[in-house]
Amino acid sequence: MPRILRILSGRPSTSASPRNRIREGGVTAKSAMVDTRDFINFDDIDENGPQSYSRTFEISPSELERFEFADIGPVSISANARKGEVPGEYVVDGSAKFAADLACSRCVEPYPFASSSAFNLRFEPRPKAPQNEEGEIEIPPDELDVEFYSERSIPLRELALEQIQLSIPMKPLCDDNCLGLCPQCGANRNRETCTCEESIVDDRWGALSEIRQAIKKRES
């Protein structure tokens, strides 16, 4: 056996990863042939009845308004859209799935996070009236889950982004018991013990002895 082949066969992981990448690419191309629509189109629903969509989007962490994303994988979204009960209303049911690396809000270390969430949205035409004195549109309390549209097509990518934003925790934690960073030296307390806490105590005693000395001076 030539030497180079022996080296390659000794490293199964390096030869496996490009093959996986090719397979993934094949799946994406296949599903793209089935459905390439980027938008939920309300006119299409009016004409042809309920529609189903299934897309996978590549999202970069910079597109999200949350700084906690260290990295994010492809986001799969599937949705069924149909006419609602009220004229001009459309109902969209679906689910979104993704995996990401989130930065822990205590220790800042990235940790794996996966989410699969279902959504149920109602789209209604953006109301022209009534408006209050500030010119804001008043929305009845029971319609807070409604999204108002002015364009009759909804980008699926925007829906996917919205679902990502909604599904990540307000304060991501690598572990509920994460000890966080030492506020003084920045050491990750999950991994190392620093001596800062002791010196805080020392400082407190120091302050106390200064007071004692001040009292002594006054007494003498």
Residue 146 touches Zn ion, criterion: CB under 5 A: no
User: What's the residue count for the chain?
Assistant: 220
Residue 184 beta carbon to Zn ion: minimum distance, rounded to whole angstroms: 5
- Interaction pattern, residues 156-195, with Zn ion; x per rule: CB under 5 A: ------------------x---x---x-xx-x------x-
67 Cβ contact list (under 8 Å, min separation 6): 103
Smallest gap from Cβ 75 to Zn ion, in A, equals 24
Beta strands in the chain (DSSP E): 39-41, 51-57, 69-72, 75-83, 90-103, 110-125, 146-149, 153-155
State in angstroms the smallest separation of the CB of 177 from Zn ion.
9
**45 touches Zn ion (CB under 5 A):** no
Using the rule CB under 5 A, which residue among 75, 103, 107, 164 binds Zn ion?
Answer: 107
- Residues 161/63, Cβ–Cβ less than 8 Å: yes
Nearer to Zn ion, 55 or 106 (CB): 106
CA 146 from chain centre, in angstroms, equals 21
* Residue closer to Zn ion (CB basis): 17 or 184: 184
Compute and round to an integer the Cα radius of gyration of the chain. Answer: 28
Question: Where does this chain bind Zn ion (CB under 5 A)?
Answer: 104, 106-107, 174, 178, 182, 184-185, 187, 194, 196
